[in-house]
Amino acid sequence: MTRKTTTSALSLSVQYVAKPENVPTRAQFRRWVKAALRQDAEIALRIVDDEEGRALNRDYRGKDYATNVLTFVYDDEFSGAESPLAGDIVLCAPVVAREAVQQEKPVEAHYAHLTVHGVLHLQGYDHESDEEARQMEALEIQIVTKLGYADPYGGDE
């Protein structure tokens, strides 16, 4: 049986507010987004510093610290069937770099994982319950390992 492959249309804007060493290129981010995307989308991916990451997390989630990835979905504005998925993914470069060191993994691999994680959130995946977390993590592992990186959750490598 031949499996039909479909490619999702992607409009991707990458904004480097913070660009320390080891931040991936636009081409790398595009590859990772496409690997996780299952529908047409318009995405802005923003690389920020601790200050902006903390402000966004505080203002939108009520948590007064910078976090690794934030996802903002704009489904109310683009609810038509023909409209692409629209949203923003914010990656806090200093947090991503610190976590990579703490988790003893390459910074590039951590960026790939968090990008995939953000794209899955844009598409409605979540990890609020244990079952949702298991499903989302399994999909993340599948996508990230297919991209050539180790299991981001530290399973058999």
DSSP assignment string, 85-104: EEEEEEEEHHHHHHHHHHTT
CATH of span 10-146? 3.40.390.30
Q: Which position has the token pair 């995946």?
A: 125
**Highest averaged pLDDT of the listed ranges 40-44, 124-128, 153-157:** 40-44
d(CA 20, CA 149): 22
d(CA 115, CA 119): 6
Q: Which position has the token pair 């504005």?
A: 77
Question: Tell me, what's the pLDDT at 14?
Answer: 95
Question: Tell me, what's the pLDDT at 81?
Answer: 56
Question: Tell me, what's the pLDDT at 1?
Answer: 39
* Largest separation between any pair of C-alpha atoms in the chain: 52
* DSSP annotation of 69: E
Task: Tokens for 55, please give them.
Answer: 């402000």
3-state secondary structure at position 105? coil
Phi, psi dihedral angles at 135 (to 5 degrees): -65, -45
Checking if the pLDDT of 155 tops 90, the result is no
Average pLDDT, the chain: 90
Checking if the pLDDT of 78 tops 80, the result is no
d(CA 15, CA 128): 29
Checking if the pLDDT of 144 tops 50, the result is yes
What band does 82 get if pLDDT is binned at 50, 70 and 90? low
pLDDT digits (tens, 9 = 90+) for 92-119: 999 999 999 999 999 999 999 999 999 9
CA distances from 145 to 7, 65, 78, 100, 141 (A): 20, 30, 32, 17, 6
Checking if the pLDDT of 73 tops 50, the result is yes
Residue 111 parent element (H or E): helix 107-122
3-state secondary structure at position 18? coil
Question: Tell me, what's the pLDDT at 76?
Answer: 54
d(CA 7, CA 133): 26
pLDDT digits (tens, 9 = 90+) for 14-49: 999 977 788 999 999 999 999 999 999 999 999 999
Q: Mean pLDDT throughout 133-141?
A: 96
